[in-house]
């Protein structure tokens, strides 16, 4: 297969490829325009009001970089914001630092704090979802208590009224406004940029299915730490600026559940999947709260805010921004598929590609794999058979790093892989499909495959990866569905998506886990043909299957597992006749048939 | 209507020509606008509502008398939602957008400091009600209505221990327990210094996190320490919660003092018998004979009851609030202007006569004397018990 | 600076008891929240607002002469209806758990404003006969309101646990929480069960509210004072479980109380939350 395949878009008119620099230019231009506001001679309070809005934009957007993108909802943003506040206030009040120099230090302190926390927390499996939220909230209270009990604050608060505000703008208020404008611009640019990079794609994959992402080659631990670090650093800067704005900081104002709750509110209201969503939410909520400051009906105003929030969320569950964007005409980008890579040179076909020795995996006493020795030869299609519960899926999980083996070795192309992180195994050239397809639900079909191309296959930019991905979609016959979401596909298509995804990383070894289950006979024929094409273009295939005619048609050799152990090995037709194999599948014969 | 419009246009043109708002001589009849914020919603709203009522009473009374300088008063009040950063922004709005003539302070130390920063930037005089940390009041045109004196951490405990020493059972051992709230903590630290200097023994010192809910262990430790006297650095509910906890273990301190409790709830608690506190004003002689006091007390009781406040009597917050308005009026009336600098200069030189008595502002940070008196819960009412000149009907300090 | 002081045995025991009592209240408050989050997939911030609303209603009725515990007869059914009704309204919209956080945050603001407009922002304390009684056991004081709270917390937690574990309704609820479409396919009456559960969570909040009224001083802003620690208890125990919030709440309460008994009370949050962090990091991995 060769030559470019272009997307025939469905009913949506194709658009010219938008310049990727359109967005940052727009952001910077807007910021430059806003920088002139202080010169307009408006009453200074507008500077302060805008400062507050920009301040919350920084906080919400920075929160979203970790929590919205990866799905690790943190309730600890107050801790990092507070760390920034107190770093600046300590440097200003005790050490007489110039204000602007405290800001990078505030960012650094908050970042180090966050990364130190993340380094421990992200290592522990199972710290997801609510547990992560609680941990981060607990950290907020811990840090607050430490600060209030030590000379950093000591309980009396820190007064910064004697500190001169640098004259960046015509008035002090405009100085804060300009500083916050700079911080907000930086934050928005960072948030946007992340979404266009491989890093951002990885974060979104973590959000959808962290385990699958890891197995596909996303270095999840490292990426989460980086996202957390960036998020905290930006919050630290916001804190540093805010310290001087307040000019009197107390622990009770900062280390509470209010800041984290507010940023969650703003981001969810605006839309967490979009880089600009939190900013929209920040503007909306700040203005909403501000508009009810007239004294006459302050209490009623508070109730109104509640009503408006509820209405907004109920009618715009994905957030304001996505709802607004839906109203714009949708234009699908044209993605041109690249050429299918040439088949891997059949060097030494028949040499051992993968060798496991004594590979074992136990789960609290249950021996799923009891020590198996398997050789997989380059260029073959190896069938992995056995009754249910015999350890076939466990084998695949152990080889790909989804599980850490309890014992044994896995040598691939001469390198020991057992015990290594799953994403490194993926990078080494092994990929797999899941028996029940696990596509990333919020990404398009194309992006699902592109992810594999980037992470397992090592392609550096999303654009190039998408091009590659289109090739593999065409290979699997799914190019029409490139811009659909996985929930729009039927089972057969989702299985093929799994295959395309497995291939996009250009693996030398593909492990297929019951790819035919649930398919109709004609779909099975298609799948069998595809598996053959997979081997023909250069990958070795290990193929877990129950459908016997496929096994007979496709495999060069088979191995049979039973109760976690290797039972038999050899040519398919021959192995299936062996009595111990038949017993394993069907049980002992009940009665001797008279005319056997 | 036309005359007013033309007059206002003239006024605005003059303002534009003059260039600064202070020199605008708006036409007689145009109201004097006073701007401030209060924490009408949020955690501080319980006390801020008192300041709202007092302000409304004051403005009404003033307008009945013909206003200030013959012009009616108009109060522009905004809700800072208990957030100092919002208070700051709103004060800037009041000064630069709404262009009010004069400012009045907000409620609670954080907001007051924010407002002070704004006032300083625009050279506006700021009279405030209840700033708890005089050492932070560094702006020369701010004036406190709460007469703490410039070193309350020393003077207030001294007054307290004087009262105790003159009472029936002068204490020898003291337990100091306090919240780590900024305006409380330094006072408790001062109390510790003072008691040491006076030769008393500190048998227990505890600090709790502001927002603590469980006072059981703290009550237990106080009981274990067997002090003659307990100094409680309480603010808001703390005092009540501690007394509740002490009641549960059947402990009644021989003598006890609460720094800034929410007064109403404390006085109605049976366990608070003989609890001491501080005040600058109570509804009794000799305070009620001060300028404007009697009428104010009556009006406040009416309004507070109508607003369903559990305790409609005037005490520190309401008194400081009313005093603040009186101070500002004094400055305006004496200088016959709305010029902030002139008002500030006059106040500093002359002080003001208020329901707290004669106040002076020529000390450190514009603070004058420490006018804090000691009061005690007796028979379900607050009664001033020290110094003697401020007691009524022979009231004396009692002990349990 | 307070160092470590060795407390007397009585002090320590009384403090532990105090921690148990306040922890029981955390648990009672957390019970409805945990069920709602774990089984209905709704993070109900308004739970606290409802508890306080119930507390104020109890205060109001008690001030008019009714026995505070008898107010439960009125309050519990009322809040059951409110909870079910609200859920019926919200179920029309597809809400993710974190969206429900927002919606209920809005609701909290509304309820808080309502409370403030009726009862003002001032502090209210219910003075009842219950508050006057206490028992003495082995030198330790056991106040009656706290004992009632503990009894209610334990009793209700066990009742809910038994229902979840042994009754068909309980199994149906757990099944729906794990996999709603499949549960429905098995004929589980999800809408009806969800309404029942939502009503129950509200009713549980109202019981907690009455306990609050019995033992604590009330103010509208106090709603937020409990959120942090009760969330901690709920998440520590794991969602959708009946006994866990109580146990977790008691752990948190006792750890704070013991800290306050032996060293500077202002360090208490550090100890309880560090303990929390440690437990979360080192306990065997549990699916939430």
Task: Kindly indicate the confidence band of residue C117, based on its pLDDT and cuts at 50, 70 and 90.
Answer: confident
Closest by CA to A293, choosing from A302, A284, A285, is A302
Half-sphere exposure of A511 (CA within 13 A, CB side): 27
Same domain flag for B353 and B259: no
Q: Mark yes or no for CB contact B186/A245 under 8 Å.
A: no
Task: Kindly indicate the confidence band of residue C50, based on its pLDDT and cuts at 50, 70 and 90.
Answer: very high
Q: Mark yes or no for CB contact B49/C219 under 8 Å.
A: no
Chain C positions in Cβ-Cβ contact with residue A154 (cut-off 8 Å): none
Q: Check: CB of residue B118 under 8 Å from CB of residue A246.
A: no
Q: How far is CA B28 from CA A374, A580, B326, B338, C124, in A?
A: 102, 112, 22, 13, 47
Higher pLDDT, B308 or A486: A486
Among the listed ranges A591-595, B17-21, C118-122, which one has the minimum average pLDDT value? B17-21
Q: Mark yes or no for CB contact B113/A159 under 8 Å.
A: yes
Q: Report how far residue B112's alpha carbon sits from residue B119's, in angstroms, rounded to the nearest whole number.
A: 10
pLDDT digits (tens, 9 = 90+) for A467-509: 889 988 888 888 888 888 998 998 888 988 988 888 888 888 9
- Where would I find the beta strands (DSSP E) of A491-589? 509-513, 540-544, 557-562, 565-570
Q: How far is CA A94 from CA A97, B13, B117, B152, in A?
A: 8, 49, 21, 25
Closest A-chain CA to C267 = A145
Q: Report how far residue A227's alpha carbon sits from residue A222's, in angstroms, rounded to the nearest whole number.
A: 9
What is residue C237's predicted lDDT score, i.e. its pLDDT?
84
What is residue A343's predicted lDDT score, i.e. its pLDDT?
57
- Region B42-53: mean pLDDT is 87
For all residues of chain B together, what is the average pLDDT? 87
Complete DSSP assignment for A42-73: --HHHHHHHHHHHHHHHHHHHHHHHHHHH---
C137: number of Cβ within 10 Å:
8
Beta bridge partners of A343: none
Per the structure block, which two tokens stand in for B46?
């319980």
Residue B396 lies in a domain: no
Give φ, ψ of A323 to 5 degrees. -65, -40
Q: Check: CB of residue C86 under 8 Å from CB of residue C198.
A: yes
Same domain flag for B307 and B332: yes
Q: Does C181 touch chain A (CB under 8 A)?
A: no
Compute the nearest-CA separation of A435 from chain C (Å): 19
Q: Does C103 touch chain A (CB under 8 A)?
A: yes
What is residue A333's predicted lDDT score, i.e. its pLDDT?
72
Closest by CA to A44, choosing from B78, B122, B116, is B122
Chain B positions in Cβ-Cβ contact with residue A47 (cut-off 8 Å): 92
What is residue A347's predicted lDDT score, i.e. its pLDDT?
55
- Region A262-281: mean pLDDT is 91
Compute the nearest-CA separation of B9 from chain C (Å): 42
C181: number of Cβ within 10 Å:
8
Pairing of strands A509-513, A540-544: parallel
Task: Kindly indicate the confidence band of residue A593, based on its pLDDT and cuts at 50, 70 and 90.
Answer: low
Max mean pLDDT among A125-129, A522-526, C121-125 falls in A522-526
Q: Check: CB of residue B175 under 8 Å from CB of residue B246.
A: no
Compute the nearest-CA separation of C224 from chain A (Å): 9
Q: Mark yes or no for CB contact B310/C216 under 8 Å.
A: no
Per the structure block, which two tokens stand in for C187?
């004929």
What is residue A595's predicted lDDT score, i.e. its pLDDT?
58
Q: Check: CB of residue A580 under 8 Å from CB of residue A567.
A: yes
Burial class (CB in 10 A: 0-12, 13-18, 19+), C186: exposed
Contacts of A530 (CB under 8 A, 6+ apart): A476, A477, A496, A499
Q: Report how far residue B215's alpha carbon sits from residue B19's, in angstroms, rounded to the nearest whole number.
A: 58
Same domain flag for B2 and B47: no
Closest A-chain CA to B109 = A248
Same domain flag for B171 and B265: yes
Task: Kindly indicate the confidence band of residue A344, based on its pLDDT and cuts at 50, 70 and 90.
Answer: low
Q: Check: CB of residue A448 under 8 Å from CB of residue A501.
A: yes
Q: Round the CA-based radius of gyration of chain C to a whole number and report it.
A: 19
Task: Kindly indicate the confidence band of residue A95, based on its pLDDT and cuts at 50, 70 and 90.
Answer: very high
What is residue B15's predicted lDDT score, i.e. its pLDDT?
43
Give φ, ψ of A74 to 5 degrees. -100, 135
Domains in chain A: boundaries: 42-255
The set of chains that have 3 or more CB pairs under 8 A with C is A, B
Chain A positions in Cβ-Cβ contact with residue B84 (cut-off 8 Å): 246, 248, 253
**Prediction ipTM score:** 0.83
Q: Which domain holds residue B18?
A: 1-26
Domains in chain C: boundaries: 24-227
For all residues of chain C together, what is the average pLDDT? 86
Please determine, for residue B211, whether its predicted confidence score (pLDDT) is greater than 80.
no
Q: Mark yes or no for CB contact A253/B90 under 8 Å.
A: no
Per the structure block, which two tokens stand in for B40?
């009408």
Identify the three-state secondary structure at position C201: helix
Same domain flag for B69 and B190: no
Q: Vertex A388, ends A383 and A394: CA angle to 5°?
A: 70
Q: Check: CB of residue A240 under 8 Å from CB of residue A85.
A: yes
Q: Report how far residue A279's alpha carbon sits from residue A256's, in angstroms, rounded to the nearest whole number.
A: 22
The set of chains that have 3 or more CB pairs under 8 A with A is B, C
Q: Report how far residue A37's alpha carbon sits from residue A54's, in angstroms, rounded to the nearest whole number.
A: 13
Q: Report how far residue C178's alpha carbon sits from residue C39's, in angstroms, rounded to the nearest whole number.
A: 8
| CA A66 centroid distance within chain | 10
- Region A435-452: mean pLDDT is 90
The helix or strand, by DSSP H or E, that contains position A353, with its residue range, turns out to be strand A352-363
Max mean pLDDT among A314-323, B18-27, C206-215 falls in C206-215
Please determine, for residue A10, whether its predicted confidence score (pLDDT) is greater than 60.
no
Same domain flag for B296 and B329: yes
Please determine, for residue B185, whether its predicted confidence score (pLDDT) is greater than 50.
yes
**What sign does the CA torsion over A464, A466, A470, A471 have?**
positive
pLDDT digits (tens, 9 = 90+) for C78-88: 999 999 998 88
Q: Mark yes or no for CB contact A246/B88 under 8 Å.
A: yes
B65: number of Cβ within 10 Å:
10
Among the listed ranges A51-60, A307-316, B25-34, B63-72, which one has the minimum average pLDDT value? B25-34
Q: Mark yes or no for CB contact C276/A134 under 8 Å.
A: yes
pLDDT digits (tens, 9 = 90+) for C218-245: 888 788 888 888 988 888 888 888 899 9
Q: Mark yes or no for CB contact C99/A317 under 8 Å.
A: yes
- Tracing tokens 């992995």 back to the chain, one arrives at A384
- Region A435-456: mean pLDDT is 89
Please determine, for residue B55, whether its predicted confidence score (pLDDT) is greater than 80.
yes
DSSP 8-state class, residue B95: I
Q: What is the pTM of this model?
A: 0.86
Q: Report how far residue B269's alpha carbon sits from residue B278's, in angstroms, rounded to the nearest whole number.
A: 18
Identify the CATH number of the domain in which residue B58 sits.
3.40.50.2300
- Region C143-154: mean pLDDT is 92
How many Cβ pairs within 8 Å bridge chains A and C? 132
Q: Mark yes or no for CB contact B209/C269 under 8 Å.
A: yes
Same domain flag for B182 and B231: yes
- Region B226-255: mean pLDDT is 89
Strand order in the sheet with A415-416: A366-377, A352-363, A407-412, A415-416
Chain A positions in Cβ-Cβ contact with residue C30 (cut-off 8 Å): none
How many Cβ pairs within 8 Å bridge chains A and B? 105
What is residue B53's predicted lDDT score, i.e. its pLDDT?
94
Same domain flag for B277 and B325: no
Closest A-chain CA to B112 = A248
Task: Kindly indicate the confidence band of residue B11, based on its pLDDT and cuts at 50, 70 and 90.
Answer: very low
Q: Check: CB of residue A494 under 8 Å from CB of residue A439.
A: yes
Please determine, for residue C285, whether its predicted confidence score (pLDDT) is greater than 80.
no
Q: Mark yes or no for CB contact B181/A301 under 8 Å.
A: no
Chain C positions in Cβ-Cβ contact with residue A263 (cut-off 8 Å): none
Compute the nearest-CA separation of A198 from chain B (Å): 39
Please determine, for residue C155, whether its predicted confidence score (pLDDT) is greater than 70.
yes
Burial class (CB in 10 A: 0-12, 13-18, 19+), A546: middle
Closest by CA to C130, choosing from B252, B247, B275, B241, is B247
Burial class (CB in 10 A: 0-12, 13-18, 19+), C161: middle
Identify the three-state secondary structure at position C268: helix
Q: Report how far residue B205's alpha carbon sits from residue A401's, in angstroms, rounded to the nearest whole number.
A: 57
Q: Report how far residue A454's alpha carbon sits from residue A459's, in angstroms, rounded to the nearest whole number.
A: 4
Closest B-chain CA to A163 = B117
Task: Kindly indicate the confidence band of residue A5, based on its pLDDT and cuts at 50, 70 and 90.
Answer: very low
- Region A194-218: mean pLDDT is 91
Please determine, for residue A277, whether its predicted confidence score (pLDDT) is greater than 70.
yes
Closest by CA to A1, choosing from A334, A341, A465, A449, is A341
Beta bridge partners of B229: B174, B255
Q: Mark yes or no for CB contact B221/C7 under 8 Å.
A: yes
Compute the nearest-CA separation of C107 from chain A (Å): 6
Q: Report how far residue A502's alpha carbon sits from residue B204's, in angstroms, rounded to the nearest whole number.
A: 69
Please determine, for residue B19, whether its predicted confidence score (pLDDT) is greater than 90.
no
Closest B-chain CA to A161 = B117
Q: How many helices (H) and strands (E) does chain C have?
A: 11, 4
- Region A397-410: mean pLDDT is 89
How many Cβ pairs within 8 Å bridge chains B and C? 127
Chain C positions in Cβ-Cβ contact with residue A125 (cut-off 8 Å): 285
Task: Kindly indicate the confidence band of residue A223, based on its pLDDT and cuts at 50, 70 and 90.
Answer: very high
Compute the nearest-CA separation of B238 from chain A (Å): 15
Same domain flag for B220 and B295: no
Same domain flag for B180 and B276: yes
Q: Report how far residue C67's alpha carbon sits from residue C72's, in angstroms, rounded to the nearest whole number.
A: 9
Q: Mark yes or no for CB contact B308/C11 under 8 Å.
A: no
Q: Report how far residue C214's alpha carbon sits from residue A493's, in angstroms, rounded to the nearest whole number.
A: 62
Q: Mark yes or no for CB contact A44/B84 under 8 Å.
A: no
Q: Report how far residue B126's alpha carbon sits from residue C7's, in angstroms, rounded to the nearest whole number.
A: 50
C287: number of Cβ within 10 Å:
8
What is residue A18's predicted lDDT score, i.e. its pLDDT?
56
Domain count, chain B: 3
Compute the nearest-CA separation of C173 from chain A (Å): 20
What is residue B296's predicted lDDT score, i.e. its pLDDT?
92
Among the listed ranges A19-33, A322-336, C273-287, which one has the minimum average pLDDT value? C273-287
- Region A45-66: mean pLDDT is 93
- Region A508-525: mean pLDDT is 87
- Region B218-239: mean pLDDT is 91
Q: Mark yes or no for CB contact C121/B46 under 8 Å.
A: yes
Contacts of C76 (CB under 8 A, 6+ apart): C203, C206, C207
Closest by CA to B367, choosing from B208, B153, B211, B205, is B153
pLDDT digits (tens, 9 = 90+) for A18-43: 567 888 899 999 999 888 888 887 88
């Amino acid at each position: 297969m060769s030559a470019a395949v272009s997307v025939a878009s469905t009913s949506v008119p194709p658009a010219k490829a938008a310049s990727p620099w359109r967005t940052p230019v727009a952001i910077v231009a807007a910021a430059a325009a806003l920088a002139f506001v202080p010169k307009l001679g408006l009453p200074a309070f507008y500077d302060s009001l805008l400062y507050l809005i920009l301040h919350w934009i920084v906080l919400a957007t920075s929160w979203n970089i970790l929590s919205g993108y990866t799905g690790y909802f943190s309730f600890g943003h107050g801790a990092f914001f507070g760390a920034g506040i107190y770093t600046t206030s300590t440097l200003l009040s005790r050490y007489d630092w110039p204000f602007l120099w405290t800001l990078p230090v505030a960012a650094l302190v908050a970042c180090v704090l966050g990364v130190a926390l993340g380094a421990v927390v992200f290592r522990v499996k199972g710290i997801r979802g609510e547990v992560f939220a609680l941990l981060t909230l607990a950290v907020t209270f811990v840090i607050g208590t430490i600060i209030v009990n030590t000379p950093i604050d000591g309980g009396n608060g820190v007064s910064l009224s004697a500190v001169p505000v640098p004259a960046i703008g015509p008035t002090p208020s405009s100085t804060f406004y300009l500083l916050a404008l700079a911080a907000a611009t930086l934050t928005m640019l960072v948030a946007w940029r992340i979404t266009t990079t491989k890093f951002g794609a990885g974060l979104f994959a973590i959000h959808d299915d962290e385990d699958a992402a890891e197995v596909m080659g996303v270095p999840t631990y490292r990426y989460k730490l980086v996202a957390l670090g960036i998020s905290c650093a930006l919050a630290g800067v916001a804190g540093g600026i805010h310290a001087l704005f307040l000019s009197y900081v107390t622990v009770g104002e900062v280390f509470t559940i209010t800041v984290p709750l507010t940023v969650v509110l703003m981001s969810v209201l605006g839309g967490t999947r979009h880089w600009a969503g939190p900013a929209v939410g920040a503007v909306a909520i700040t203005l909403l709260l501000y508009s009810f400051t007239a004294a006459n009906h302050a209490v009623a105003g508070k109730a109104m805010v509640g009503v408006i929030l509820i209405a907004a969320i109920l009618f715009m569950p994905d957030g304001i921004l996505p709802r607004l964007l839906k109203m714009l005409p949708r234009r699908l980008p044209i993605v041109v598929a690249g050429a299918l890579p040439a088949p891997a040179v059949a060097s030494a076909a028949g040499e051992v590609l993968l060798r496991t020795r004594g590979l074992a995996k136990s789960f609290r006493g249950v021996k799923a794999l009891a020590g198996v020795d398997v050789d997989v030869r380059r260029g073959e299609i190896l069938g992995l058979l056995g009754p249910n519960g015999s350890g076939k899926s466990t084998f695949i999980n152990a080889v790909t790093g989804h599980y850490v083996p309890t014992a044994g070795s896995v040598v691939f192309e001469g390198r020991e892989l057992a015990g290594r992180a799953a994403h490194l195994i993926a990078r080494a050239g092994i990929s797999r499909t899941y028996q029940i397809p696990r596509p990333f639900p919020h990404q398009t079909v194309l992006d699902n495959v592109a992810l594999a191309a980037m992470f397992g296959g090592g392609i550096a930019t999303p654009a190039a990866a998408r091009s590659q991905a289109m090739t593999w979609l065409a290979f699997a016959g799914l190019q029409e569905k490139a811009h659909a979401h996985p929930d729009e596909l039927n089972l057969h298509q989702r299985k093929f998506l799994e295959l395309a995804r497995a291939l996009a990383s250009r693996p030398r070894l593909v492990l297929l886990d019951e790819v035919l289950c649930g398919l109709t006979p004609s779909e099975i024929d298609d799948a069998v043909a595809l598996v053959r094409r997979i081997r023909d273009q250069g990958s070795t295939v290990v193929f877990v299957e129950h459908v016997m005619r496929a096994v007979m048609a496709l495999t060069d050799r088979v191995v049979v597992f039973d109760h976690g152990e290797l039972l038999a090995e050899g040519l398919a037709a021959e192995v299936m006749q062996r009595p111990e194999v038949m017993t394993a599948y069907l049980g002992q014969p009940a009665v001797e048939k008279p005319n056997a | 209507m036309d005359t007013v419009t033309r007059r206002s246009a003239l006024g605005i043109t003059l303002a534009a020509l003059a260039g600064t708002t202070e020199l605008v001589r708006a036409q007689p009849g145009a109201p004097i606008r006073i701007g401030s914020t209060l924490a009408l919603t949020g955690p501080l709203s319980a006390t801020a509502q008192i300041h709202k009522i007092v302000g409304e009473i004051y403005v009404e009374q003033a307008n009945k008398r013909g206003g200030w300088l013959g012009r009616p008063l108009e109060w522009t009040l905004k809700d800072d939602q208990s957030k100092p950063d919002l208070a700051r922004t709103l004060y800037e709005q009041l000064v630069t957008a709404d262009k009010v003539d004069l400012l009045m302070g907000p409620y609670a130390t954080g907001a007051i400091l924010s407002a002070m920063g704004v006032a300083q930037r625009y050279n506006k005089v700021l009279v405030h009600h209840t700033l708890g940390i005089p050492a932070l009041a560094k702006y020369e045109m701010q004036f406190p209505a709460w007469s703490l004196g410039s070193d309350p951490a020393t003077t207030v405990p001294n007054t307290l221990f004087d009262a105790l020493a003159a009472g029936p059972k002068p204490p020898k051992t003291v337990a100091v327990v306090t919240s780590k709230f900024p305006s409380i903590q330094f006072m408790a630290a001062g109390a510790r210094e003072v008691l040491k200097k006076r030769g008393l023994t500190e048998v227990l010192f505890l600090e709790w996190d502001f927002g603590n809910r469980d006072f059981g262990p703290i009550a237990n430790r106080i009981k274990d320490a067997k002090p003659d006297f307990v100094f409680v650095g309480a603010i808001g509910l703390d005092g009540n919660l501690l007394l509740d906890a002490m009641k549960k273990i059947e402990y009644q301190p021989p003598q006890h003092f609460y720094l800034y409790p929410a007064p109403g709830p404390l006085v109605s608690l049976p366990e608070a018998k003989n609890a001491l506190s501080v005040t600058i004003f109570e509804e009794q002689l000799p305070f009620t004979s001060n300028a404007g006091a009697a009428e104010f007390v009556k009006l406040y009781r009416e309004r507070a009851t109508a607003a369903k406040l559990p305790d409609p009597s005037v005490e520190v917050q309401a008194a400081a609030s009313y005093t603040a308005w009186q101070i500002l009026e004094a400055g305006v009336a004496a200088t016959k202007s709305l010029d902030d600098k002139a008002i500030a200069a006059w106040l500093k030189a002359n002080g003001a006569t208020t329901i707290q008595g004669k106040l002076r502002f020529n000390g450190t940070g514009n603070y004058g004397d420490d006018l804090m008196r000691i009061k005690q819960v007796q028979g379900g009412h607050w009664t001033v018990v020290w110094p003697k000149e401020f007691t009524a009907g022979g009231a004396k300090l009692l002990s349990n | 600076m307070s160092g470590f002081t060795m407390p007397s045995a009585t002090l320590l025991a009384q403090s532990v008891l105090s921690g148990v009592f306040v922890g029981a209240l955390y648990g009672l408050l957390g019970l409805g929240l945990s069920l709602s989050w774990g089984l209905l997939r709704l993070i109900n911030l308004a739970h606290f607002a409802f508890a306080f609303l119930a507390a104020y209603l109890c205060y109001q009725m008690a001030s008019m002469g009714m026995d505070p515990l008898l107010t439960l007869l009125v309050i519990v059914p009322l809040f059951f209806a409110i909870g079910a009704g609200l859920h019926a309204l919200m179920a029309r919209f597809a809400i993710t758990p974190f969206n429900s956080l927002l919606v209920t945050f809005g609701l909290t603001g509304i309820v808080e404003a309502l409370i403030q407009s009726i009862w003002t922002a001032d502090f209210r304390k219910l003075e009842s006969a219950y508050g006057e009684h206490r028992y003495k056991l082995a030198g330790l004081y056991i106040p009656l309101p706290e004992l009632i709270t503990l009894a209610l917390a334990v009793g209700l937690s066990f009742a809910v646990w038994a229902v979840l574990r042994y009754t068909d309704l309980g199994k149906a609820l757990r099944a729906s929480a794990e996999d709603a479409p499949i549960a429905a396919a098995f004929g589980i009456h999800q809408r009806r069960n969800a309404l029942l559960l939502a009503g129950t969570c509200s009713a549980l909040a109202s019981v907690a509210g009455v306990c609050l009224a019995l033992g604590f001083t009330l103010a509208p802003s106090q709603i937020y004072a409990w959120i942090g620690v009760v969330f901690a208890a709920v998440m520590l125990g794991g969602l959708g479980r009946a006994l866990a919030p109580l146990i977790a709440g008691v752990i948190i309460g006792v750890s704070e109380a013991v800290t306050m008994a032996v060293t500077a009370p202002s360090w208490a949050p550090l100890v309880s939350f560090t303990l929390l962090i440690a437990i979360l990091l080192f306990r065997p991995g549990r699916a939430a």
